[in-house]
Amino acid sequence: MSDTVNPLTMLTEDELAFRDAIREFAEGEIKPLVTEMDQNAAMNQDLVKKFFEMGIMGIETPENYGGAGASFMTACLIVEELGRVDGSTSVLVDVQNTLVTNAFLKWGSEAMKEKYLPKMATEWVGAYALSESSSGSDAFALKLKAEDKGDKWLLNGNKLWITNAKEASVFICFANMNPELGYKGITAFVVEKDFPGFKVGKKEEKLGIRASSTCELLFENCEVPKENILGEVGKGYKVAIETLNEGRIGIGAQMLGIAQGSYEATLNYIQGREQFGKPISSFQGVQFQLAEMRTTLEATRLLVYNAARLKDAGMPFVEEAAIAKLYASRAAEKIASMSVDLFGGNGFTSEYPVEKFYRDAKIGQIYEGTSNMQLQTIAKMELSK
């Protein structure tokens, strides 16, 4: 892809260096494994180790905690570049950085940061456990129960559709300590995978991002130390809302990467595929579709980068994050669908990459806030002005 001169998409030297290093790594180390991981519905664990070695599992984590000390924008660039090759590795790194690490950075006590951030930057995968069977878009209809037992907390219930669950060593879990208080009873707990009473359940078989683990979590008198509360008791709803606002920009970046990868594969294919004695790229109808894809891709990049820049600058970004995720997820599906069309019969086979881009794109309109929830956020913020 070519860099535009638009100020929103101009990158600093450090950002360009990060992006180019990740692109080279993705092309050389991830791309050869994509088909195998997708077919086996399993993440290559050697690849995860390399993510830690490269420093991309603690992108924003300050250097004194063992991280890269880079910006949120850099995190989004890395998520984008991974998505350009594989949506599964992209979301693993995205959840690690834009959700779990961000939550620790913003809400963790100093003792908690010192305990968990170095591990997350060097060896531990993290997961963010909010969803349950009864609480999807209604995120605060939580039934996971937390009981204060004096010297510890006990958690009972389950979570569903938790990304990174199979690989994770630490989980941020949201439970309700007093259902009568509604959302004001929700508290965020830090749960380690070997805590008594905690278990990772079945892994879901999915349409797309198949190598990314999505599992059920089971809590049966799960013992959590008193000090393992993230933020304050009863303020878990605030932790969840504010973390997800940032995470949605990361999903926008993932969808941007998927769209970019699909577009590049299509651009290359139409120049080599011949019909009626000439490349199909010479046909005006194909050129118009290419132009539509390129325009949509550029608009997506502007929206995602703008939201990331606002977040880094400490400026309001909630509405821009919702707009970026809404548009990027729609754009990824649109571009991937057009790619399949332009590949013709080949696009419907697993021999070519666009059918996987198409499958991977669909989740963008569902997780970390459905498209309807983004529309609701945007409308509410506009009406409140």
Q: Give CA–CA dist 87/361, Å, rounded.
A: 8
Long-range contacts of 313-321 (CB under 8 A, 24+ apart): 317/245, 317/249, 318/245, 318/377, 318/381, 319/377, 319/378, 319/381, 319/382, 321/245, 321/246, 321/248, 321/249, 321/252
The CATH number assigned to the domain holding 45 equals 1.10.540.10
Asked if residue 292 and residue 185 are part of one domain, the reply reads no
Same domain, 113 and 133: no
Mean pLDDT over residues 33-62, rounded?
98
Q: What is the mean pLDDT of residues 220-246?
A: 96
| The pLDDT value given to residue 80 | 98
Give the pLDDT score at 1. Answer: 42
Q: Is residue 242 located within the same domain as residue 378?
A: yes
Same domain assignment for residues 227 and 246: no
Residue where a domain terminates, one of 125, 146, 167: 125
* Catalytic annotation present for 368: yes
Cα–Cα dist 72/99, whole Å: 11
pLDDT for 173 equals 98
Q: Assess whether 81 and 165 both reside in one domain.
A: no
Domain co-membership, 40 together with 119:
yes
Q: Is the pLDDT of residue 24 over 90?
A: yes
Q: Does 284 score more than 50 pLDDT?
A: yes
| 362 and 251 assigned to the same domain | yes
- Per residue in 235-247, pLDDT tens? 999 999 999 999 9
Give Cβ neighbours of residue 4 (< 8 Å, ≥ 6 apart). Answer: 10, 298, 301
Angle between helices 72-83 and 13-25 (to 10 degrees): 30
Q: In the listed set 234, 257, 273, which residue is the last one of a domain according to the structure?
A: 234
Q: Write the CATH number for 272.
A: 1.20.140.10
Residue 225 pairs in a beta bridge with 152
Given 132, 333, 355, 368, the catalytic residue: 368
- 253 lies in the same domain as 263: yes
Structure tokens at 232: 């304050």
Cβ neighbors of 369 (< 8 A, separation 6 or more) are: 137, 244, 248, 322, 325, 377
Residue pair 76/308 in contact by the 8 Å Cβ criterion = yes
If one counts the domains in the chain, the total is 3
Distance between CA atoms of 142 and 130, rounded to whole angstroms?
8
- Using the predicted structure, report yes or no on whether residue 4 has a pLDDT greater than 70: no
- Give the pLDDT of residue 137: 79
CB count within 10 Å of CB 72 equals 23
Q: What is the mean pLDDT of residues 300-311?
A: 96
In a domain, 8, yes or no: no
| pLDDT class of 138 with cuts at 50, 70, 90 | confident
Same domain, 245 and 185: no
Residue 17 lies in a domain: yes
Average confidence score pLDDT of the chain: 95
pLDDT exceeds cutoff 70 at 63: yes
List, in sequence order, the alpha helices (H) in 11-123.
13-25, 34-40, 45-54, 72-83, 87-94, 102-107, 110-122
Domain boundary among 93, 109, 125: 125
Other Cβ atoms less than 10 A from the Cβ of 122: the count is 16
How many whole angstroms separate alpha carbon 46 and alpha carbon 24?
Answer: 17
* Same domain for 138 and 88: no
Instruction: Indicate whether 48 pLDDT > 70.
Output: yes
- Specify the range with the lowest mean pLDDT, choosing from 94-108, 140-154, 290-304: 140-154
Tokens 């360009």 belong to which residue?
Answer: 16
Residue 4 maps to a domain: no
Please give the distance of CA 375 from its chain centroid, rounded to a whole number: 19
Return the CATH number at 218: 2.40.110.10
What percentage of the chain reaches a pLDDT higher than 70?
A: 97
- Which domain range does residue 21 map to? 13-125
Assign 12 a pLDDT band (cuts: 50, 70, 90): confident
Question: In this structure, are 119 and 179 located in the same domain?
Answer: no
